[in-house]
Amino acid sequence: MSSYESDEMMSVEAARQLREVTACFVGIGLPSTGANLARRTVNPDLVLVYEAGAIGAKPPRLPLSIGDGMLGETADYIASVPEIFNYWVQPGRIEVGFLGAAQLDRFANINTTVVGDYANPKVRLPGAGGAPEIAASCGEVIVIVRQSPRAFVERVDFITSVGHGDGPGARERLGLRGKGPTKVITDLGILEPDPESRELVLTHVHPGVSAEQAQEATGWDLKLADELKTTEPPTQEELKALRELVAA
């Protein structure tokens, strides 16, 4: 088995989730790495949509930001930011949205606004950007975040983007179009919402990771799936494509 880093496992698993997806709304960081890797491996026809307006971008390297000029140069179409959200995101035309998080709670609500009290925070984070609309209206959301008790908290300090609210029926009561987070990919495994309670459950661990490690890295009593699985390790081909992408 090839040697690889935990971030590489996350990026490879994120790419695999896009195997049969037509269009994906991409953030910067690990979400961008996973989506661009998918185009180079499992789904060459994947349409990448970036918040600044690039639709069908085909970047030869990882973009530095959502406004990287390379995205516009390689895109099929450039839209205005209002058009991206009013015409593409909010009507539900994007199948998958990729999001990161500073904090995530047991119902997959996301905080990227503040840590601590809103009026007097310990840390002020980058903020919402387009994440609330992505979380509300994309067909489904995949969250990519490193797992630790600091990030995986019982209750987020501020809900920037709604996941499954306070449990069953919360999204419907709020009138949110999309399914919300369907998977949370971490450096330890994969969490998915329970069909009934909507609480995140550990369904997969990555090779070499134990369920206990994942539970210890979680700020709530993380439940395990009845049939806990192990993700497939990255293949030589996946690692080669990923490392070429990152080095470009």
51 is catalytic: yes
Nearest to 26 by CA among 6, 46, 5, 41: 46
Alpha-carbon dihedral of residues 102, 105, 109, 110, nearest 10 degrees? 0
Nearest to 169 by CA among 197, 143, 147: 197
Catalytic residue from among 5, 8, 20, 51: 51
Nearest to 90 by CA among 13, 178, 198: 178
The secondary structure of residue 60, as a DSSP letter, is: S
d(CA 68, CA 104): 28
Alpha carbons within 13 angstroms on the beta-carbon side of residue 85 total 12
Helix, strand or coil for residue 168?
A: coil
Beta bridge partners of 160: none
d(CA 182, CA 179): 7
* Catalytic residue numbers, as ranges: 51
